[in-house]
């Protein structure tokens, strides 16, 4: 089932399309302020004790288990029923924002919560909050990208809340707490950050235009967005992700000059498509880290997260009403999602090779194909927009709890693998 690069290269045809609706949808549903944590409840204390007991056994895995982890491709597999359900809900985690709080917003079904990803050749370990916190003690982690990346961070906050709750220190660093968040786990000296950079590179409104949801933007493809580039040097884990914002009208600049555009409808300017900008943005992001003196962090790329609009887009009656995963062979990745996936993975592989020469570690969180199978995991009409009186179908972000929790199972797996690979004395 897993997506293969050579298969994509064989099947992709060059196409032109104006996919502004995805971008408009993301802008029209800005994330509200994340609510502050309350003190840990007695139920979470019980969960914490249970997690700590499980950690001691998890830290004593046999060498055969380690060899299995090294051989297994966790991204090739299938979704299987999981009667035990999610790790948490809106009662046990009070930090879920309304936009993705599907249960609180009245979604009546629960079957979407009772599936788990099973790799073909092994078992993907459950998320262990205590083990995660042990691995990040004294370290820092940044999610860099758009609101779908922040969606993953919000899932991670809930998963960790089984053991510990952070202090929200966002206001110490920025006044823009809607898009930049920072949490500190004092007991573990661990900082968790979201750095808002939906294009990864520098962007500005085009001249002589009034900013709107589909106004023309300038993207400076060889200049990293300072929102993340100016402070990423000291981070131990950096998770990159981006995607849907690249479908709006954009002028591309390199070395200060226009090199092309996408959907700009301007004479004498070549339409290079969204994928050119997407590819170059990731190239610049990876090269920034490769050339950043003193950077020693682990770089992770979370691949493109496919939306699931049916019968139209968000503003033309589209929705995602399904309540079960697709069956194998029931759906194929659309051409534009294949292009997005290919663009970022090719750049990732090039950076990975260069990073290896410099002793830097790069890891791929390859979720595109497996999340294609989960049309049931979006808020759809059960999300909330800024104006709670307006219902907008959200088939881009993911319910919390929901399939997005699997991304953090992958994250912990990658961290464990990295620990095995980089240290002679494994913590596993």
> Which residues participate in catalysis according to the annotation?
147, 394, 397
Is residue 115 classed as helix, strand or coil in its secondary structure? Answer: strand
The whole-angstrom separation of Cα 244 and Cα 274 is 10
**Quick one: which H or E segment has residue 161?**
none
- Distance spanning both ends of the chain, measured CA to CA: 29
Give me 283's structure tokens.
């190239």
Count Cα neighbours of 157 within 13 Å in the Cβ-side half-sphere: 32
The whole-angstrom separation of Cα 365 and Cα 298 is 13
Contacts of 383 (CB under 8 A, 6+ apart): 29, 98, 99, 100, 102, 105, 392, 394, 397
Q: Put the strands of the sheet holding 190-196 in their side by side order.
A: 167-168, 181-185, 190-196, 140-145, 237-241, 298-302, 361-365
Q: Is the dihedral of CA 419, 423, 427, 428 positive or negative?
A: positive
Give me 19's structure tokens.
């996919």
**Cβ atoms of residues 306 and 320 within 8 Å:** no
- Apex CA 110: angle with CA 29 and CA 118, to 5°? 95
**Cβ atoms of residues 2 and 73 within 8 Å:** yes
Q: Could you tell me which of 83, 79, 140, 412 has the C-alpha nearest to residue 297?
A: 140
For 305-355, the three-class secondary structure string (H helix, E strand, C coil) is CCCCCECCCCCCCCECCCCCCCCCCCCCCCHHHHHHHHHHHHHHHHHHHHH
In the block, residue with structure tokens 């009070």: 94
**Cβ atoms of residues 278 and 340 within 8 Å:** yes
């Amino acid at each position: 089932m897993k997506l293969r690069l050579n298969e994509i290269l064989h099947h992709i045809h060059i196409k032109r399309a104006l996919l502004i609706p995805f971008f408009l949808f993301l802008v029209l549903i800005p994330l509200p302020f994340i609510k502050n944590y309350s003190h840990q409840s007695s139920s979470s204390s019980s969960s914490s004790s249970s997690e700590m007991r499980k950690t001691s056994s998890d830290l004593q895995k046999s060498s055969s288990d380690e060899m299995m982890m090294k051989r297994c491709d966790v991204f090739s597999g299938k979704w299987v029923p999981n009667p035990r359900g999610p790790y948490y809900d809106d009662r046990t985690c009070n930090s879920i924002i309304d936009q993705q709080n599907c249960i609180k917003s009245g979604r009546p079904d629960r079957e979407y919560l009772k599936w788990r990803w099973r790799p073909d050749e092994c078992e993907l370990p459950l998320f262990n909050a205590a083990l995660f916190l042990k691995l990040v003690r004294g370290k820092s982690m940044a999610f860099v990208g758009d609101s779908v990346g922040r969606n993953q961070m919000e899932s991670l906050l809930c998963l960790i809340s089984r053991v510990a709750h952070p202090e929200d220190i966002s206001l110490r660093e920025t006044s823009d707490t809607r898009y930049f968040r920072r949490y500190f786990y004092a007991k573990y000296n661990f900082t968790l950050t979201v750095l808002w950079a939906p294009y990864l590179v520098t962007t500005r409104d085009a001249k002589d235009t009034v900013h709107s949801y589909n106004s023309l933007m300038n993207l400076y493809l060889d200049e990293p967005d300072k929102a993340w580039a100016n402070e990423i040097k000291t981070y131990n884990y950096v998770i990159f992700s981006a995607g849907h914002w690249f479908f709006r009208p954009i002028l591309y600049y390199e070395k200060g000059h226009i090199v092309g555009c996408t959907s700009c409808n301007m004479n004498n300017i070549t339409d290079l498509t969204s994928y050119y900008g997407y590819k170059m943005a990731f190239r610049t992001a990876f090269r920034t880290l490769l050339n950043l003196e003193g950077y020693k962090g682990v770089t992770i790329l979370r691949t493109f997260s496919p939306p699931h609009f049916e019968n139209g887009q968000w503003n033309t009656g589209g929705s995602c009403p399904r309540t079960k995963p697709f069956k194998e062979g029931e759906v194929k990745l659309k051409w534009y999602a294949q292009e997005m996936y290919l663009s970022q993975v090719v750049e990732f592989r090039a950076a990975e090779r260069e990073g290896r020469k410099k002793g830097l570690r790069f890891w791929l969180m390859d979720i595109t194909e497996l999340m294609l199978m989960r049309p049931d995991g979006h808020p759809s009409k059960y999300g909330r927009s800024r104006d709670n009186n307006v219902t907008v179908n959200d088939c881009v972000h993911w319910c919390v709890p929901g399939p997005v929790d699997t991304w953090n199972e992958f994250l912990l797996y990658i961290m464990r693998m990295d620990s095995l690979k980089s240290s002679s004395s494994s913590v596993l």
